[in-house]
């Protein structure tokens, strides 16, 4: 039997059309998900593998996408590392004992044993079974993004506490990121052992950094993470928010790079080179617009990159909760019916 389309595209093998999945494809924009969440908190849901698998399988079926990602969250990993996490309605995640001073290293555990995350590994197994023969992506937060939450004590726009620590105590900062990198590597290896066929590392907030700071304060920990992952399972790195970081991202040697909508795919392609797969990059806000706009913007991306060996169609960020489900379905349908020959016809007409 042939390997799934998504995995062939990640390996830059020739494919008949680009695979498509959407970041945050199971979420509040979908009525089935809202129904599930009506009876359970977000953290409880994350701790219930049967429901996690069901939520994702439902979304995959409704949308008709080519891959599932496990339903999980970036932050529960921080709990066994020593932090008190909760999700406050309307305010997002909150860490009650944030990391603020070098002395906080004493209470920050690097995890050798990931048994406290076993429900996530079970989620991988159940999701594999629920969506077969489609492939399942495991994921985790990147060291900087996890450290950002740890130091701020939650989400942030500017990450000033994190930067203050970084600029004032660079050794403690590097030690913290190193512990996170090694913990995340073991966590992702656990997901791979449980059946994840690719892994995505979310660096959702790295875009608040300048390229100089990224290289000095963050890249070493990402390289340590990369070195501790198996080379035969594709790793996707999604560093959001600042296109000027791409030249430094290239040094990470990920197999595939997620491309934020802010960065033109042509730019990512030229900086990263043809030996890397690309995944992206429609602005998820386009799904709030007219069908005409959705079609124009989707075909613009497909006509330019749909035939590139190693291209995965996705959004440039997660689906917004205000998105009409039928617009997401329309998008997936556009990708699945796109053919390179039509692109040529459209180009000739112009």
Q: How far is the CB of 263 from a copy of itself (least distance, A)?
A: 5
Closest CA to 68 of 13, 26, 17: 26
Using CA atoms, how far residue 2 sits from 13, 23, 134, 313, in Å, is 12, 25, 12, 20
* Contact call for residue 24 and a copy of itself (CB under 8 A): no
* Contact call for residue 132 and a copy of itself (CB under 8 A): no
* Contact call for residue 244 and a copy of itself (CB under 8 A): yes
Complex with a copy of itself: residue 122 or 175, whichever CB lies closer: 175
H helix intervals, 169-218: 170-193, 211-213
Of the candidate spans 79-87, 104-112, 117-125, 290-298, the one that interacts with a copy of itself by CB under 8 A turns out to be 290-298
* Contact call for residue 210 and a copy of itself (CB under 8 A): yes
CA distance 243 to 260: 8
Residue of 57, 166, 236, 332 interacting with a copy of itself (CB under 8 A): 166
Token pair recorded at residue 256: 């595939």
List the catalytic residues. 24, 28, 37, 73, 149
Q: How far is the CB of 158 from a copy of itself (least distance, A)?
A: 7
Residues 299-318 that bind a copy of itself (CB under 8 A): 300, 316
Residue of 36, 123, 242, 314 interacting with a copy of itself (CB under 8 A): 242
Residue of 222, 286, 332, 334 interacting with a copy of itself (CB under 8 A): 286
H helix intervals, the chain: 5-10, 31-37, 42-46, 49-63, 118-131, 143-152, 160-168, 170-193, 211-213, 219-227, 246-249, 265-272, 291-305, 325-337, 340-349
Complex with a copy of itself: residue 150 or 196, whichever CB lies closer: 150
Angle CA(318)–CA(323)–CA(327) in degrees, nearest 5?
A: 105
Complex with a copy of itself: residue 8 or 100, whichever CB lies closer: 100
Place of tokens 């913290």: 176
281 preceded by a cis bond (ω within 30 of 0): yes
Residue of 264, 270, 324, 326 interacting with a copy of itself (CB under 8 A): 264
Residues 6+ apart with CB under 8 A from 103: none
Positions that interact with a copy of itself (CB under 8 A): 157-160, 163-164, 166-168, 207-213, 242-244, 261-264, 267, 283, 285-286, 288-290, 293, 297, 300, 316, 320, 322
């Amino acid at each position: 039997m042939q390997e799934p389309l998504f995995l062939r595209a990640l390996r830059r093998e020739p494919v008949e059309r680009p695979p498509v999945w959407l970041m945050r494809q199971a979420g509040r924009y979908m009525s089935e998900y809202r129904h599930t969440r009506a009876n359970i908190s977000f953290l409880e849901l994350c701790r219930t593998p049967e429901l996690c698998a069901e939520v994702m399988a439902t979304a995959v079926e409704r949308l008709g996408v080519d891959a599932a990602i496990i339903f999980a969250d970036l932050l529960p990993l921080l709990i066994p590392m020593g932090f008190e996490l909760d999700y406050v309605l309307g305010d997002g995640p909150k860490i009650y004992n944030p990391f603020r001073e070098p002395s906080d290293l004493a209470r920050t555990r690097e995890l050798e044993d990931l048994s406290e995350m076993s429900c996530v590994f079970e989620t991988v197994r159940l999701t594999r079974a629920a969506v077969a023969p489609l492939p399942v992506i495991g994921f985790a937060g990147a060291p900087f993004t996890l450290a950002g939450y740890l130091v701020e004590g939650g989400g942030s726009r500017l990450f000033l506490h994190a930067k203050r620590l970084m600029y004032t105590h660079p050794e403690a900062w590097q030690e913290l990121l190193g512990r996170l990198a090694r913990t995340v590597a073991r966590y992702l290896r656990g997901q791979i052992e449980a059946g994840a066929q690719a892994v995505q590392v979310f660096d959702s907030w790295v875009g608040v950094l300048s390229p100089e700071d990224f290289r000095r304060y963050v890249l070493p920990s990402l390289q340590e993470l990369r070195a501790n992952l198996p080379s035969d399972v594709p790793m996707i790195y999604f560093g959001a928010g600042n296109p000027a970081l791409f030249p430094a991202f290239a040094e990470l040697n990920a197999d595939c790079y997620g491309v934020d909508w802010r960065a033109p795919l042509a730019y990512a392609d030229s900086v990263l080179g043809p030996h890397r797969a690309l995944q992206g990059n429609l602005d998820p806000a386009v799904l709030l617009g007219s069908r005409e706009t959705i079609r124009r913007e989707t075909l613009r991306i497909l006509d330019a990159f749909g035939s590139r060996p190693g291209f995965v169609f996705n959004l440039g960020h997660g689906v917004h909760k205000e998105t009409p489900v039928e617009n997401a379905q329309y998008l997936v349908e556009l990708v699945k019916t796109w053919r390179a020959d039509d692109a040529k016809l459209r180009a000739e007409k112009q």
